[in-house]
Structures are given as C-alpha cells and as structure tokens.
Structure 1
Amino acid sequence: MQVLKKKADLAEIIRERRSIKKGYNNKIVSEETITELLEDAIWAPTHGMRQPWRFIFVGENQKQDFAKKIASTYPEDRQENRENYLNEPSAILVVIMEKGDNQKKQDENFGATACMIQNFQLLAWEQELGVVWKTNPHIYDPKVEEILHVKEDERIIGFLHMGYFDELPEKKDRIAVRDKFSTFQVG
C-alpha cells in the first residue's frame, strides 16, 4: 500500500486555494497542461462510475473567436462587454455534464462533476495555475448550447476561467464549523 502525503499538505492546499478572477499574466495555459490535470481530477467520486463529464478546451488560438461567438448571444448593447470579459482569462475550460434520466441521477451527476472540478482547481493551484468556476447566464442559453454542440441529454456546468497570475487575492475567512454544526437529538 502506498503511503499518502501528510494530511497537512492537502489541508494546506485546500486552505490556500483561491479563485483567480482577474490579473492573469501572459504565460500560456497549454492544452497539454489541462489534459494532465484532468487525468488526475477525473478520479473524483462518481455514482455508478458514470463519469458524467466532458470538456471543451478554449486556448489562446481559439479564445477570440470563442468570445465573439458566445458574446453574440447577448443583447447587442452587452456584446462588447461580454466579449472583453471572455477574453480576460488565458484559457477557458467548458465543463459539460450528462443530465441523468431522473432527479436522483441528475443530483449524483452534478455532485460528481462538482467534485471533479474541485479536484481540478486544487491540482491547478498546486501548479500555480489560477482557476475560477463561472456560471454566468450564457451557460444556460440554448444558443450557447448550440454553438458548443451540447447534446439534449447534457448541460453546461460552467466555464472554468484559467490563467497564471502574479498576485494572490485576499484570503476570505470561512464561517466556523461550530456555527453550522449540530448533533441529532432524539425526540
């Protein structure tokens, strides 16, 4: 049996990770780096081993066309703003999930995909690659689904904006567990 790293190492990565929303530098986010991170991230818990995710990588060479197409689904007066917004990150990873044929499977698939995204974010952080999970209105737009060839039994879970960065965002404290924790009482 392989010995795991000390708990402190993992706990430290979990506590240090931040969502990097802006301030990306010019270092290229390669498709190879993302696929390597995903090879580990997909080891997330997944009900029935359904592994309900798939990915679309938008790198430096595709970003401008991608941003223009997605922005075109917005009202004309918002298109320039949305195009600029989608051009900010160095790369984008679109995460698409199989819906599941009932509510239980939908919930399980979303839970598994969210776990996989968290794995990805932690692995990226370890490589000093910033990630933020975006759920802007366009991920729910049928026109965007059409642009991205999302199937009828799938949905977009989010756009992961990615880029290397030079400055850490400020740490935001969490509510203490004791404030959100109770023990079941009989009666």
Structure 2
Amino acid sequence: MRLKNLFWEIKNNTKFSAIIIAIFRFGNFVNKKIHIPIIRQFLFIIYKILDWLIIRIICNSEFPHSITIGKRLRVYHPFGIIIQADASIGNDCQMRHQVTIGWAKSSKNGEGTPNLKNNVDIGAGAKIIGNITIGDNVVVGANSLVCNNVEANDVVGGVPARSLKKEIKK
C-alpha cells in the first residue's frame, strides 16, 4: 500500500478509526512484506501489543492483520467491529459500529467468509456472514443480516436482508 493512501485514511477518519486502521496496516505490512525472521518477529510483537491494547481492549473490535482490505477504508465509529481473518474488503468501503463480517457454513453457499467488492457502505450493526459476495456500490442497511449474495448497485436491508431498491423507487 502506498503511503498516500494511508495518509488519506488517517486524514479522513476519526482519531480512533485512524489509529485502528494504521495499526491494521502496520500488521498487514509486517505479515506480507517483512521476510527477515528476527525483524519480522520483533515488529509482529509490537503489532500484537498495539492490537490487543487499542483495537481489542479499548475499541472492542477485531481487525486481524490477515484481512485483505483495499484502499481508502472509512470507519465512522470503530467500536464493536468484528472482521473474520480471511475476509476480503474492496476499495472505498465504509462501515459503522457493531458491524460483523464473519464466517458461516450453509447448505446454499458452502462455508467461508464474505467478499466485499468496491464502494460498499455498511450500516451500524449489520451482520454479513458466509461465503457470499457483496457487489460494487452496495448499501447495507443498519442492523441487517446479509447471508446471500448481493448484486452490484443494490440497497439491502432487513433480517434476512432483501433488496430494497424497488421499494425506494416507489
């Protein structure tokens, strides 16, 4: 990741959000780019301390270093956010507090974690679970439970989430 994108994330997020994203990016950098074992272990210890003290204890969130997150992530309220370690989040995504992006097993989609494409806006308290894909330019309503694939350019909400685009046009 280029420093320009990291500076954008720090500038365009609240202080806590910027700190959480910076810690995540640091851990992700150490995990993927540092190949000298002794340096990697030392930096990883620093990352783990920051992860536990700030992200997990103070913000009660989980942003594992192994998540794939695109450029320009925006987190409005970084409290209570849980993201599964092998989830994938695209560029220009936004999320709010109490969001869960997690693993699930279903007979329809198999087992796995969600893949969020670009420009996905996730409302507060939304739960996105299972081996599903959320398309580009999707809005997920607050407190929704998304457990099925969502097409691009859609608005979903409810438990379980369903498309609200037709209802909005009325």
The question of a shared fold, defined as TM-score above 0.5 by the shorter chain, is answered with no
Task: Please classify the TM superposition score into its range, dividing by the shorter chain length.
Answer: under 0.3
Structure showing the higher strand proportion among its residues: 2
The TM-score, its normalising length taken from structure 2, stands at 0.26
Structure showing the higher helix proportion among its residues: 1
The TM-score, its normalising length taken from structure 1, stands at 0.24
Q: Which protein, 1 or 2, shows the higher relative CO under an 8 Å CA cutoff with sep ≥ 6? A: 1
Larger Rg: 1
